[in-house]
Amino acid sequence: MAKKIIKSNQAPAPIGPYSQAVASGEFLFCSGQIGLSAKTGEVVSGEVKEQAEQVMSNIEAVLKEADMTFDHVVKTTIFLTNMADFATVNEVYGRHFTKNPPARSTIAVAGLPKGVKVEVEVIARR
């Protein structure tokens, strides 16, 4: 099965050898997004809420480039450097999945790229 690389200029460029997303058949596999600004390439702030807002905006841009929306997302994984941030990230995340939310895992990790506090990856299906 062929794969198609998805790249949005409205989301930050990858900071390593990976694609923002890869479409294969009916599925879209999105790399984890962190709170980087597409315009500056810098972390938006040190606060988890602002980082989570930027993460969701970045995901939305990648989905849009693939002609999809949050309604197409079937699975997400959230990575947090501090589980005490769970409620704050959950509030931001929940505004994007108001009906029929996807399956989800939330994992505590020792660290994330550029010292951010949250990263989210998604899988979507047409």
Is residue 122 over pLDDT 80?
Answer: yes
Span 57-81, mean pLDDT? 98
Pair of tokens at residue 50: 């602002």
Q: Which of 69, 61, 76 is nearest to 118 (CA)?
A: 76
Determine the pLDDT at residue 56.
98
The domain tally of the chain equals 1
What is the overall mean pLDDT for the chain?
Answer: 97
3-state helix, strand, coil in the chain (%, to 5): 30, 30, 40
DSSP state, 14?
A: P
Q: Which domain holds residue 92?
A: 3-125
CATH of residue 35: 3.30.1330.40
Determine the pLDDT at residue 60.
98
Is residue 1 over pLDDT 90?
Answer: no
| Full DSSP string of 60-86 | HHHHHHTT--GGGEEEEEEEES-GGGH
Cβ(93)–Cβ(52) under 8 Å? yes
Which residue's structure tokens are 């994984």? 77
pLDDT digits (tens, 9 = 90+) for 8-65: 999 999 989 999 999 999 999 999 999 999 999 999 988 999 999 999 999 999 999 9
Phi, psi at 14, each rounded to 5°: -55, 145
Span 90-109, mean pLDDT? 97
Determine the pLDDT at residue 73.
98
